[in-house]
Amino acid sequence: MIKVTDLETLALERLLDADALIEAERYDGAIYIAGYAIELVLKARICKTLKWTDFPENQDYRSFKIHNLDVLLHLSGIENEIKTNYFADWSLASKWNPENRYKTNAPVSKHAAELTLKSIKKLWVIL
Cα–Cα dist 102/18, whole Å: 18
Hey, how many other C-beta atoms are within 10 angstroms of the C-beta on 74? 15
Closest of 124, 126, 117, 120 to residue 21, by C-alpha? 117
Task: State the pTM of this model.
Answer: 0.89
The structural domains of the chain, with segments of one domain joined by +, span: 2-126
CATH fold of 2-126 reads: Four Helix Bundle (Hemerythrin (Met), subunit A) (1.20.120)
> Residue 63: its pLDDT value, please?
65
Tens of pLDDT along the chain (127 residues)?
889 999 999 999 999 999 999 999 999 999 999 999 999 999 999 999 999 998 887 666 666 778 899 999 999 999 999 999 999 999 999 998 877 666 666 678 999 999 999 999 999 888 8
> Residue 101: its pLDDT value, please?
65
The rounded Cα 39 to chain-centroid distance in angstroms is: 3
